[in-house]
């Protein structure tokens, strides 16, 4: 069967999870959902309601009348369903950087007699920066290891307090073995902090099932919450009583409106709340999560795996000169496909000019992110055919100049 027929057959097979009608999609093919998810159609109206009525008319009364105060935990529970967390374990409100700082700092207090933090050296740079900064502040030292090497590392030492790892490698799309790494950390007496930024909303995580300790993730990639959407923090029930993050803000206080001069943590996951959250962004995220209503994350995963698998198949046949660096095993990849090529930057810019939006990561990777709810196999095939045309026309070489603009 040729690629055109394959695309049509696969779209028919997965038609039950085609949710394009729930999004406002730009012209062309959008393959950058791993950086910024597409706009759910319900969000503009929801944001207008918040601005016009909540803020414009009801003002401060909206904290109670429109549920602003409860939103961080209410929205957290909706995300919790997508990452396998029972209610009462997820809050939303800070940036991913702040959420990670808070989670790692709290994890260190749970293992006060240990002085090492393990992190993957290929982690997203912010994760490396946050961990390095905390180590400097607290007198800990950083040990680096790839997630597949962490179990052996932990078997050889007893000083590891915290293991910090990303579920999906942001460059290659490699999906790491969260259950195995988590079990190894627990055998060694360490606390796990997982960054789910590139898996939440695309890959089943099953935090409770695998007894993950702490996790964070952003709201603007596969959760489609919009630019700068607030991040979420997961604190497993068994750790909530001892969860003591470094920044102690008033929303995490046991009695926030008592306005006491000293801090007392709330008894439940509310202790992970920070200061006043960005309500416009938080409520936009809440509206965006509506696209997942009635949808099982396993169904999203099946569609994603089919799309990324077909993308790799089309690349192999139509653009064999690019190197697919994302694992071909569907169990070992997230929801984006990365290809290596010396002119990857020029390729990304030429594709954008042709209406296909992916992104570039130095030094030589073109990333093609699959937002499964709003992409089809026909879209994927069209994107690869445009890449073939870029290569045939020498367009990548012509545009591979100063890299000032990167999507």
Q: How many other C-beta atoms can be found within 10 angstroms of the C-beta atom of residue 143?
A: 18
Residue 333's closest CA among 124, 99, 175, 135?
175
Whether 350 and 279 share a structural domain: no
Is 299 tagged catalytic? no
Digit-coded pLDDT (tens) for 16-28: 999 999 999 999 9
Judged against a pLDDT cut of 90, whether residue 226 lies above it is answered with yes
Band the pLDDT of 340: cuts 50, 70, 90. Answer: very high
Residues 242, 222 contacting (CB under 8 angstroms): no
Domain count along the chain: 2
Domain boundary (277, 292, 307) is at: 292
Q: For the chain, report the end-to-end CA distance as a whole number of angstroms.
A: 35
Judged against a pLDDT cut of 50, whether residue 288 lies above it is answered with yes
Residue 145 lies in a domain: yes
Whether 201 and 317 share a structural domain: no
pLDDT of 134 reads 98
Is 129 tagged catalytic? no
Task: Tell me how far apart the alpha carbons of residues 122 and 82 are, in angstroms, rounded to a whole number.
Answer: 26
Band the pLDDT of 406: cuts 50, 70, 90. Answer: very low
Whether 212 and 361 share a structural domain: no
Is 195 tagged catalytic? yes
How far, CA to CA in Å, does 68 sit from each of 79, 133, 249, 265? 17, 33, 17, 20
Instruction: State the alpha helices, DSSP H only, in 60-149.
Output: 62-65, 71-83, 96-110, 125-138
Whether 164 and 281 share a structural domain: yes
Digit-coded pLDDT (tens) for 305-317: 999 999 999 999 9
Is 124 tagged catalytic? yes
How far, CA to CA in Å, does 55 sit from each of 61, 65, 158? 9, 11, 53
- From the list 11, 120, 169, 195, the catalytic residue is 195
pLDDT of 399 reads 78
Judged against a pLDDT cut of 90, whether residue 400 lies above it is answered with no
- From the list 367, 374, 379, 400, the catalytic residue is 367
- The per-residue pLDDT of the chain, averaged, comes to 96
Q: Which residue has the higher pLDDT, 397 or 248?
A: 248
Structural domain boundaries enclosing 149: 45-292
Whether 180 and 266 share a structural domain: yes
| DSSP symbol at 372 | G
- From the list 221, 271, 273, 303, the catalytic residue is 221
- From the list 23, 30, 101, 124, the catalytic residue is 124
Domain boundary (292, 308, 338) is at: 292
Band the pLDDT of 401: cuts 50, 70, 90. Answer: low
Task: Tell me how far apart the alpha carbons of residues 128 and 10 are, in angstroms, rounded to a whole number.
Answer: 39
Q: What SS3 class is residue 366? A: strand
In DSSP terms, 233 is beta-bridged to 91, 216
Band the pLDDT of 403: cuts 50, 70, 90. Answer: low
Is 379 tagged catalytic? no
| CATH number of the structural domain spanning residue 322 | 3.90.1150.10
How far, CA to CA in Å, does 295 sit from each of 86, 192, 301? 17, 28, 11
- From the list 23, 220, 360, 374, the catalytic residue is 220
Digit-coded pLDDT (tens) for 172-221: 999 999 999 999 999 999 999 999 999 999 999 999 999 999 999 999 99
Whether 234 and 323 share a structural domain: no
């Amino acid at each position: 069967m040729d690629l055109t027929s394959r695309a049509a057959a696969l779209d028919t097979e997965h038609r039950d999870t085609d949710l394009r009608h729930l999004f406002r999609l730009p012209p062309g093919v959008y393959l950058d959902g791993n950086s910024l998810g597409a706009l759910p159609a319900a969000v503009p109206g929801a944001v207008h309601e918040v601005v016009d009525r909540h803020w414009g008319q009801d003002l401060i009364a909206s904290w109670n009348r429109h549920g602003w105060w409860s939103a961080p935990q209410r929205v957290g529970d909706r995300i919790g369903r997508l990452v396998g967390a029972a209610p009462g374990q997820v809050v939303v409100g800070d940036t991913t950087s702040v959420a990670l700082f808070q989670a790692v700092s709290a994890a260190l207090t749970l293992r006060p007699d240990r002085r090492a933090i393990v992190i993957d050296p290929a982690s997203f740079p912010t994760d490396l920066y946050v961990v390095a900064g905390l180590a400097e502040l607290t007198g800990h030292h950083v040990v680096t290891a790839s997630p597949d090497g962490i179990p052996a590392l932990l078997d050889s030492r007893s000083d590891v307090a915290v293991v910090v790892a990303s579920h999906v490698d942001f460059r290659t799309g490699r999906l790491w073995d969260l259950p195995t790494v988590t079990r190894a950390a627990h055998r060694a007496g360490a606390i796990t902090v997982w960054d789910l930024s590139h898996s939440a909303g695309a890959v089943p995580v099953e935090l409770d099932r695998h007894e993950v300790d702490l996790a964070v993730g952003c709201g603007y990639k596969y959760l489609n919450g919009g630019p700068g959407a607030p991040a979420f923090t997961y604190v497993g029930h068994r750790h909530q009583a001892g969860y003591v993050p470094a920044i102690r803000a008033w929303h995490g206080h046991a009695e926030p409106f008592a306005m006491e001069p000293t801090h007392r943590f709330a008894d439940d996951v509310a202790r992970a709340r920070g200061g006043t959250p960005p309500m416009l962004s938080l409520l936009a995220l809440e509206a965006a999560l509506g696209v997942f209503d009635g949808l099982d994350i396993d169904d999203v995963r099946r569609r994603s795996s089919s799309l990324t698998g077909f993308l790799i198949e089309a690349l192999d046949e139509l653009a064999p000169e690019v190197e697919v660096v994302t694992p071909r095993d569907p169990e070992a990849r997230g929801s984006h496909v990365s290809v290596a090529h010396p002119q990857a930057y020029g390729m990304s810019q030429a594709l954008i000019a042709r209406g296909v939006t992916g992104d570039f990561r130095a030094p030589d990777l073109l990333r093609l992110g699959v937002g499964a709810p709003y992409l089809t196999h026909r879209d994927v095939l069209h994107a690869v055919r445009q890449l073939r045309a870029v290569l045939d026309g020498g367009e990548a070489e012509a545009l591979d100049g100063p890299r000032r603009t990167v999507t």
